[in-house]
Structure 1
């Protein structure tokens, strides 16, 4: 059953991608915020044009591509906990995936707390990628990846 859903999903993506050449419906901004002298928040903000949405990081297998945030290994920092989503996702059954999905419309912030390792002084550069898939009620775009690079620095807020 999962194979059939996967094949249907791939066919839907490939057929709809051709008609989805209307620009970038999702814009990303990356910023940092100092929490204390050794702790920062890396904030990844997705702004979606109506009627587009992106999916939560927490999706069942066999469904749409979840948003996946990956940080490039950096010996100067330690990730604290998991990346948080600052909004409550919309939960909806989607026939094409034959399961309940969780997604965001409008604006959503993904926030990862990072801590400088002992003996490390700011500024420190943090890099990574965000993999996401934008869909509307009529079509889905091919999953896309955005690279980000931010600086952890007590003296200024990035945005």
Structure 2
């Protein structure tokens, strides 16, 4: 337990120092694409500067903070399946977390298929929570809110 507290304190100190420098290595884009009648793909795309990385939605317990995508309720929009990840997934043991970590560098798309109740433009809102790390440091987790027009 003491090891985890020390690790957490070190990460917080590094994050405070880095955030004071205004470091923002991840750019996000949000879009939709019609794939059939009343069906769309919502793309939540991250462009991650080298040498930074963001983590998969699927991480082992005790590992880094996974990327979490949450959608607000909209009675006219039905989520179809789970959020898929499209990119070059890297799985590597990370000493700082003492687990195999799954992460992306460069570009990754998180894709959610949806079905709309009516063939009129709808908005789908939500948030993405993520943590960016390099080999030297991790930044404070961030939450980015978004709204995508389905048309």
Asked if Structure 1 and Structure 2 have the same fold, meaning a TM-score greater than 0.5 normalized by the shorter chain, the answer is: yes
Distance between the aligned counterparts of 2:32 and 2:44, measured in 1?
A: 9
Shift of 1:4: 4.5
Report if the CA contact (8 A) 1:5-1:97 is conserved.
Answer: no
The residue number in structure 1 matching 2:61 is 61
Which residue of the partner structure matches residue 91 of structure 2?
91
Unaligned segments of structure 1, at least 5 residues = 154-159
**1:19 CA displacement:** 2.5
Q: Look up the match of 1:80.
A: 80
Query: What SS does the aligned partner of 1:127 have?
Result: strand
- SS in structure 2 at match of 1:86: strand
State whether structure 2 residue 60 is matched by structure 1 residue 44: no
Larger strand proportion of the pair: 2
Q: Given that residues 121 and 150 in structure 2 are in contact (C-alpha distance below 8 angstroms), is that contact kept between their aligned partners in structure 1?
A: yes
- Worse-superposed segment, 27-36 or 4-13: 4-13
Equivalent pairs, count: 149
Tell me what 1:108 maps to. Answer: 108
SS at match of 2:9: helix
Shift of 1:13: 1.8
TM-score, normalised by the number of residues in structure 1: 0.89
Query: Counterpart of 2:75 in 1: which secondary structure?
Result: coil
Alignment partner, residue 156 of structure 1: none
Instruction: List runs of 5+ in structure 2 lacking aligned partners.
Output: none
Q: 1:51 to 1:33 in 2, by over 3 A?
A: same
Map Cα deviations across residues 107-156 of structure 1 (whole Å, 9 max, x no partner): 00000000013xx2320000000000000000000000000101000xxx
